[in-house]
Amino acid sequence: MPLHEVIPPAAIARRVAELGAEIDARLPGGPLTVVGVLRGAFIFTADLVRAIPRELTVDFLGVRSYGDATVSSGVVEITSDLGAPIAGRHVLLVEDIVDTGLTLRYLLDLLRARGPASLHVCALLAKPAPAGNAVALDFVGFPAPDGFVVGYGLDGRQLYRNLPGINRLAE
């Protein structure tokens, strides 16, 4: 399938560095857990935590929202839970791409119920939120490019996660 790079690796690296500084400046002091959403955010999370110059722990939440289709099913399944409690900790949830926001809304409710001291969201890519369905995003890397995108952790039918840049996948 033809691929067209829309965000090159160097642009991602620059933006990740900015995000790390922004996050460090805006998040309250105190214990911080960065929670990456698997699998799409694994590379972004790995880069982002190295750009946040403070003490933190890293955890992951395994989620399946699309199955192998490219259209949101609205069904979110937790395939792997956090390794440690987040009560009383500041939590930064790291997502790959926010489309309808259904996945994110579900995850925020789940995490909020566990009593974190604060809960913020950082998404690498965000599509414009449909009216009435907005989920507040605290930090966004880039507006999501048009079409279905893969690479830098994002998959199309489980492929292309290893591409270093963000690519549009043409059917």
* Alpha helix stretches (DSSP H) within the chain: 9-26, 42-49, 102-112
Cα 18 to Cα 52, 107, 117, 146, distances in angstroms: 10, 25, 24, 23
Say how far residue 114 (Cα) sits from the centre of its chain. Answer: 20
CB nearer to ligand IMP: give 32 or 123.
Answer: 123
Active site residue 99: yes
Candidates 6-14, 20-28, 44-52, 100-108; binding stretch for ligand IMP (CB under 6 A) = 100-108
CB of 84 to ligand IMP, least distance (A): 22
**Binding pattern to ligand IMP, positions 50-79, x when CB under 6 A?**
---------------xx-----x-------
Written as six digits, the tokens of 130 are 């449909």
Cα 17 to Cα 20, 79, 131, distances in angstroms: 5, 30, 31
Q: Which of 91, 94, 96, 141 binds ligand IMP (CB under 6 A)?
A: 96
Task: Give the separation between CA 99 and CA 71, rounded to whole angstroms.
Answer: 10
Q: Does residue 153 bind ligand IMP (CB under 6 A)?
A: no
Task: Mention every residue, 6+ apart, whose C-beta is less than 8 A from residue 132.
Answer: none
Of the residues 59, 68, 81, 99, which is catalytic? 99
Cα 119 to Cα 22, 27, 32, 68, 88, distances in angstroms: 16, 10, 10, 29, 10
Q: Which of 7, 27, 86, 154 binds ligand IMP (CB under 6 A)?
A: 154
Q: Which of 20, 36, 101, 151 binds ligand IMP (CB under 6 A)?
A: 101
Q: Which of 35, 43, 52, 103 binds ligand IMP (CB under 6 A)?
A: 103
Q: How many residues bind ligand IMP (CB under 6 A)?
A: 18
Give the side-chain half-sphere CA count within 13 A for 136. Answer: 6
Q: Which of 27, 32, 34, 40 binds ligand IMP (CB under 6 A)?
A: 40
- For ligand IMP, the binding residues (CB under 6 A) are 40, 65-66, 72, 95-104, 148-150, 154
Catalytic residues: 99
